[in-house]
């Protein structure tokens, strides 16, 4: 039988401990498994109430079932879907098992640790709040020794943030870090203090929040990878970034004044962007008009000069004719747009001859 002391070294030595405890010594007369089950049935009969009337084979069957049940739990283990089974043989990592039912040797030969590798763990820094199934509770307690940090421009800022992390390597997570959660929290706090210490307070409070989160996440992951921690940082999320409570009202006044200054500057810039193009356009229009007037005047002067020179040439050739022609043209130009009354001086007294030249003939 498997537990009998067979020759050839196949069985256990007398006095050695088996999975069920100390085996009885007896050399060649050591009882086998069938004898052990028989003794177990006798013990079960003694435990059973007197007069139960159970037959011996049934009692033996119950004993076998109990032994099988105990052996099942002693030689198997179950890994849940969100876990990984790390099997250690005599304290040294022997293998890793996926979710499901697996075989093992009973303790202390093999021990199993089952960390939850898919669970998202949350570390709070600067605050302490109760967790519920839907997330954070509305009651949050401030932890000043963690939240108050010094910025690069020598201001103090009050920061609350959370870190979401999970296990990416179960073996490194179990055996390279002694206190995993505390290590993650210490790394998160020190990294945030380093990033804040290199930044000014104004960007942290306004537009640089996402940049700060990404910088802290990257630095934390580098540090934890240097520890061979087997931890993956999923997210760093800032919950609150404010000045200290003692000066927050004054700081808000400064913020309001700064906002008013930016608003007035924006309004002035908008007005300037509207007025300056109009002024430039008006100036360009005036310049173009002046250039046009100059060119027109010069052209007219050149034309009149040329005309005068031509008339002078004609005058030299025929002074009387040219003089008369100039007189007629001048009178035509002068009298052409006015009302005219012509009186005949040869008419007799009392007669006023009148010729309306401005009315068309019928």
- Structure tokens given for 349: 């007294």
Q: Which residue has the higher pLDDT, 295 or 52?
A: 295
For residue 50, give every residue at least 6 positions away whose Cβ sits within 8 Å of its Cβ, in sequence order, or none.
none
Burial of 105 (0-12, 13-18, 19+ CB in 10 A): middle
Instruction: Give residue 238's pLDDT.
Output: 93
Classify residue 230 as left (phi > 0), alpha (psi -120 to 50) or beta: left
SS3 for 25-77, per residue?
CCHHHCCCHHHHHHHHHHHHHHHCCCCCCCCHHHHHHHHHHHHHHHHHHHHEE
pLDDT of residue 329: 85
**Percent above pLDDT 90 for the chain:** 30
Record the pTM. 0.53
CA distance 74 to 268: 82
**pLDDT on residue 56:** 58
Neighbours of 93 (CB within 10 A): 14
User: Tell me: the pLDDT tens digits for 296-314?
Assistant: 999 999 999 998 888 888 8
Topology at the third CATH level for domain 121-131+139-243: Tetrahydropterin Synthase; Chain A (3.30.479)
Domain ranges of the chain: 26-113, 121-131+139-243, 246-328
Residue 90, helix vs strand vs coil: coil
**Quick one: pLDDT at residue 351?**
56
Q: Which long-range contacts (CB under 8 A, 24 or more apart) does 148-153 make?
A: 148/244, 149/192, 149/193, 149/196, 149/197, 150/193, 150/196, 150/197, 151/196, 151/197, 151/199, 151/200, 151/201, 151/204, 152/196, 152/197, 152/198, 152/199, 152/200, 153/200, 153/201
For the chain, how far is it from start to end, CA to CA, in angstroms? 156
């Amino acid at each position: 039988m498997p537990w009998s002391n067979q020759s050839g070294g196949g069985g256990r030595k007398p006095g050695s401990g088996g999975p069920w405890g100390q085996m009885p010594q007896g050399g060649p007369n050591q009882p086998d498994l069938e004898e052990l089950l028989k003794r177990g049935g006798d013990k079960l009969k003694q435990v059973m109430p007197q007069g139960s009337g159970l037959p011996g084979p049934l009692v033996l069957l119950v004993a076998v079932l109990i032994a099988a049940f105990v052996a099942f739990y002693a030689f198997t283990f179950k890994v849940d879907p969100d876990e990984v089974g790390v099997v250690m043989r005599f304290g040294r990592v022997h293998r890793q098992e996926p979710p499901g039912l697996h075989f093992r040797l009973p303790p202390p030969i093999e021990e199993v640790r089952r960390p939850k590798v898919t669970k998202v763990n949350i570390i709070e820094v600067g605050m302490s709040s109760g967790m519920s199934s839907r997330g954070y509770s509305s009651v949050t307690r401030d932890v000043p020794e963690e939240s108050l940090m010094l910025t690069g421009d020598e201001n103090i800022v009050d920061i609350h943030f959370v870190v979401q992390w999970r296990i990416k390597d179960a073996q490194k997570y179990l055996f390279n870090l002694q206190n995993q959660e505390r290590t993650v929290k210490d790394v998160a706090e020190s990294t945030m203090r380093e990033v804040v210490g290199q930044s000014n307070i104004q960007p942290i409070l306004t537009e640089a929040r996402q940049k700060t989160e990404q910088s802290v996440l990257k630095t934390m992951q580098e540090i934890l990878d240097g520890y061979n921690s087997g931890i993956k940082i999923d997210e760093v999320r800032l919950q609150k970034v404010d000045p200290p409570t003692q000066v927050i009202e004054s700081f808000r006044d400064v913020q309001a004044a700064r906002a008013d200054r930016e608003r007035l500057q924006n309004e002035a810039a908008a007005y300037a962007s509207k007025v300056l193009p109009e002024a430039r356009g008006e100036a360009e229009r005036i310049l173009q008009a002046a250039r046009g007037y100059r060119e027109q005047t010069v052209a007219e002067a050149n034309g009149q000069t040329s005309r005068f020179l031509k008339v002078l040439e004609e005058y030299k050739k025929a002074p009387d004719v040219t003089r008369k022609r100039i007189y007629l043209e001048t009178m035509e130009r002068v009298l052409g747009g006015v009302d005219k009354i012509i009186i005949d001086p040869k008419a007799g007294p009392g007669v006023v001859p009148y010729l309306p030249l401005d009315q068309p003939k019928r």
